[in-house]
């Protein structure tokens, strides 16, 4: 049974659980998209990347991946605030727009970081 996206009844924790049912499965797709972007940069510019691949840079990559997942969690407060707002918003469409917008922003930040840190002199 579909729940009303804008329902204000229920506890904070029930709303959070319902939000997690949507957002957490899509975290995998988010991570796969970002991994594909990094892999595309790596393959497309391999000769330039070779000296940049060090143990320290791989550790930094893991830290950045963790930060990308922390940023993914920004969807939860946005959704919870929208759910308690008095205006009626289309739930599923809004969630997809939030996911797509956040993923595009993450792609842009990843590309910017790669272009700035890996290619600073280019």
Average pLDDT for consecutive 10-residue bins of the chain (122 residues)? 50 86 95 96 85 83 92 90 70 86 95 80 50
Alpha carbons within 13 angstroms on the beta-carbon side of residue 45 total: 17
Q: Is 29 left (phi over 0), alpha (psi -120 to 50) or beta?
A: alpha
Contacts of 78 (CB under 8 A, 6+ apart): 98
Token pair 């959070």 in the structure block, residue: 16
Q: What's 118's DSSP letter? A: I
Distance of alpha carbon 30 from alpha carbon 28, whole angstroms: 5
Which pLDDT belongs to residue 88?
59
pLDDT score, position 1: 43
What's the pLDDT at 2?
47
pTM score of the predicted model: 0.80
pLDDT of residue 56: 85
CA distance 15 to 83: 9
Q: Give residue for tokens 């975290």.
A: 27
């Amino acid at each position: 049974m579909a729940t009303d996206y804008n329902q204000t009844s229920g506890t904070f924790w029930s709303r959070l659980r319902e939000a997690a049912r949507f957002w957490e499965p899509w975290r995998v797709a988010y991570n796969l998209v970002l991994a594909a972007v990094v892999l595309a940069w790596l393959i497309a510019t391999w000769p330039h990347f070779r000296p940049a691949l060090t143990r320290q840079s791989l550790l930094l990559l893991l830290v950045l991946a963790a930060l990308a997942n922390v940023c993914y969690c920004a969807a939860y407060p946005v959704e919870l605030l929208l759910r308690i707002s008095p205006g009626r918003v289309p739930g599923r469409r809004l969630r997809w727009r939030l996911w797509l917008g956040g993923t595009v922003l993450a792609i842009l930040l990843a590309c910017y970081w790669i272009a700035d840190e890996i290619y600073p002199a280019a």
